[in-house]
Amino acid sequence: EKIYAIITAAGSGNRMGMKTPKQFIEVNNIPIIERTLNKFYDLNIFDKIFLVIRQEDKKFIEENLSKKFRDIQIIIGGKTREESTFNAIKLLDDDGISVFHDGVRPFVSKDDIIRALDFFKGKNAVVFAVREKDTVKVVDNMKVISSPARKNIFRVQTPQIFSNKIIKEAYNKFYGKIEATDDSIFVSKLGEEVYIYESNYNNIKITTPEDLYLADLIAKEEDY
Ligand code: C5P
């Protein structure tokens, strides 16, 4: 069975408040996107790796991305995360499975990817997640509506692994109709079961400036 990887890196990085989009910021001297690509590339299990970027970053990517990644297929993203992802999904075969990953999660563990692919066998949807450590409240207008039991709360990350057939069907049906901050929302909406692969807390999404402090520490530990 063919396995594809889709790395989305077409965000503007507004929340980082820097001119350079966050995926190109260097952490311990290596750009975030290169760190992420290395993980997937070095595993050597993917039939094809797609990298989704903004049109305005294409030149920069072509000039600066390590030559090692020359067989990665570059795709131009869209205005939203979902649009960027959909642009890649449209190119997928119906057969096979795909691993979707945020370009700004460079600390994903390669061992976890392998273990999650094993866990995926016989399923259609597996998402990385960690147990919530804080108590979570559902809030409306700054007023607490409910307090879900913490033991049932997981924080969802990427990678998210789907059968191509299912993710294509989910996007074709729900893209643009409901908001989805992750792809598994569309898949759940189809009535498909989505399973959790318990990942680790290092797999952070580098989004706001304070994330860079932690990213630097994790990178130094990883590079050591
Ligand atoms: O915006 P958010 O942090 O949820 O983005 C998650 C991932 O989706 C990031 O890797 C970002 O680069 C990507 N993205 C994208 N196209 C957009 C917006 C976000 O590929 N229009």
pLDDT digits (tens, 9 = 90+) for 131-158: 999 999 999 999 999 999 999 999 999 9
Is residue 138 assigned to a domain?
A: no
Check residue 127 and give its pLDDT.
98
Question: What pLDDT does residue 21 have?
Answer: 78
Range of the domain at 34: 3-127+157-223
Q: Ligand 1 centroid vs 33 CA: distance in angstroms?
A: 12
Query: 8 C-alpha vs ligand 1 centroid, how far in Å?
Result: 6
Is 152 within a domain? no
For residue 121, tell me if it sits in a domain.
Answer: yes
Mutate to test the pocket of ligand 1, among 51, 54, 74, 81 (most ligand atoms within 8 A of CB): 81
Quick one: pLDDT at residue 15? 79
Could you read off the pLDDT of 12-24 as tens digits, one per residue? 877 777 777 788 8
Q: Distance between CA 31 and CA 29 in Å, rounded?
A: 7
Q: Report how many domains make up the chain.
A: 1
**In the predicted model, what is the mean pLDDT of residues 66-85?**
94
Distance separating the N- and C-terminal Cα atoms of the chain = 35
Tell which atom from ligand 1 comes closest to the C-alpha of 205.
3
Query: Which pLDDT value is given to residue 14?
Result: 78
Tell how far the Cα of 23 is from the centroid of ligand 1, in angstroms. Answer: 10
- Mean pLDDT taken over the chain: 95
Residue 54 forms part of a structural domain: yes
Is 161 inside any structural domain? yes
ipTM score over 0.85, yes or no: yes
Q: Residue 192: its pLDDT value, please? A: 98
For residue 65, give the CATH number of its domain: 3.90.550.10
Which residues have CB under 6 Å of ligand 1? 8-11, 23, 52, 77-81, 84, 102-104, 205, 207
| Residue spans of beta strands (DSSP E) within the chain | 3-9, 26-27, 30-31, 48-53, 73-76, 97-102, 125-131, 138-140, 143-146, 154-163, 195-198
Tokens of 220: 């130094």
Nearest ligand 1 atom to alpha carbon 9: 12
How would residue 70 be classed by pLDDT, with cut points 50, 70 and 90? confident
**Does any domain span residue 144?**
no
Answer whether residue 148 is part of any domain: no
| Dist CA 20 CA 206 (whole Å) | 13
C-alpha 88 to ligand 1 mean position (Å): 13
Q: Which two tokens stand for residue 38?
A: 């290395």
Whether the CB-CB separation of 113 and 38 falls below 8 Å is answered with no
Which ligand 1 atom is nearest residue 103's CA? 10
Strand pairing category for 195-198 and 125-131 = parallel
Q: For a substitution probing ligand 1, which of 6, 7, 8 has the most ligand atoms within 8 Å of its CB?
A: 8
Answer whether residue 69 is part of any domain.
yes
Amino acid 176: pLDDT:
94
Question: Is pLDDT at 210 greater than 90 in this prediction?
Answer: yes
Torsion of CA 122, 198, 5, 98, to 10 degrees: 30
Cα distance between residue 163 and residue 166, in whole Å: 5
* Residue 217 to residues 27, 45, 187, Cα–Cα distance (Å): 9, 28, 35
Atom of ligand 1 nearest to the CA of 78: 21
Give tens-digit pLDDT for 23-45. 889 999 999 999 999 999 999 99
